[in-house]
Amino acid sequence: MSQPTVLSERQGRVGVLTLNRPEQLNALNDTLMDALGAALLALDADDGIGAIVITGSDKAFAAGADIAAMADWGYMDVFSSAFITRNWETIRQVRKPVIAAVAGFAMGGGCELALACDLIVAAESAKFALPEVKLAMLPGAGGTQRLPRAIGKAKAMDMCLSARMLSAEEADRYGLVSRVVPSDALMAETLKLANTIAGFSLPALIAIKESVNRAWEGSLTEGVKFERHALYARFASADAHEGMHAFLEKRKPTFQHC
Ligand code: CO8
């Protein structure tokens, strides 16, 4: 029987998805991306989950789209199957916070998958690159769009045009990752972070994620308007009243996620 390409487990209110094609350094083929999309949507729909972690192996988060699968495709193959759109973009439907825990190679589509997550926790061993130019391809899973927004045009052009690989330390300095942690503590530190996040009120997390994504995608005026309405909506939330009263009463809040 073939191995599942994505392993799903839960640790309290955190769902952990592990990419599982170790022999191919987690190269991302359609089977894996379909499984990842389905697992993400299942966790997003699960009331008992407040945050999601995507991780790979010690050697590779993911070494990119599966080159062996793509090598002989023609234009109509990718057009007809809605390559990328059909399964790579499922992650954009997820309302809960998604954290990439990256060790080893995050290259090409692997780097793009990490960039599509809300936070990236990098092990000291992590290496980030968009080397598609070496294949006469281009970073087509959002890389040419998300990378400049994340680290600015100068660094993004360098990575995309020269295939430059960044160490975890460089990725941290450029703002590509949220945190760098010792390699042997990657999962412990990521789960600690994920559990902290998952302990907060889920509707507040969703409103914050949507608001920050507005800043990422749109104008300041529109973003500020969106944020204002998201703030007003917080006053309709039992959790917000509980959070503020708990502070005033010097006790821990008990959130009902409503
Ligand atoms: N696809 C398919 N198989 C791969 C991939 C990949 N992306 N990366 C590694 N593998 C396979 C190797 O072929 C090898 O298989 P085998 O053992 O059968 O020969 C196995 O994984 C181990 O790899 P290596 O022996 O090469 O391991 P090394 O430690 O020597 O090197 C590297 C590790 C540096 C990561 C190296 O494997 C490498 O350079 N991989 C390719 C990286 C790359 O070019 N990624 C970009 C791919 S293209 C892409 O992501 C976007 C395409 C266009 C947009 C579509 C959106 C997704």
The percent of residues above 90 in pLDDT, for the chain, comes to 97
Compute the C-alpha angle 115/88/131, nearest 5°. 55
Q: Which atom of ligand 1 is nearest to the CA of 105?
A: 35
Q: How far is the CA of 30 from the centre of ligand 1 (A)?
A: 15
How confident is the model over 186-207, as a mean pLDDT? 98
Task: State the pLDDT confidence band at 2, using cuts at 50, 70 and 90.
Answer: confident
How confident is the model over 156-178, as a mean pLDDT? 98
Is there a contact between 96 and 43 (Cβ–Cβ < 8 Å)? yes
Q: Tens digits of per-residue pLDDT, 62-108? A: 999 999 999 999 999 999 998 888 899 999 999 999 999 999 999 99
> Hey, what domains does the chain have and what are their CATH numbers?
6-198 (3.90.226.10), 202-248 (1.10.12.10)
Catalytic residues: 65, 109, 112, 132
Ligand 1 pocket test, candidate residues 23, 24, 137, most atoms within 8 A of CB: 24
Task: State the pLDDT confidence band at 1, using cuts at 50, 70 and 90.
Answer: low
Listed in order, strand segments (DSSP E) in 22-125 are 51-55, 60-62, 98-102, 105-107, 119-123
Q: How far is the CA of 57 from the centre of ligand 1 (A)?
A: 14
Structure confidence at residue 146 (pLDDT): 97
Residues with CB under 6 A from ligand 1: 24-25, 27, 63-68, 84, 105, 107-109, 131-132, 135, 137, 140-141
Average pLDDT score over the chain: 97
Q: How far is the CA of 65 from the centre of ligand 1 (A)?
A: 8
Q: Which value does ipTM take for this structure?
A: 0.97
Q: pTM for this structure?
A: 0.97
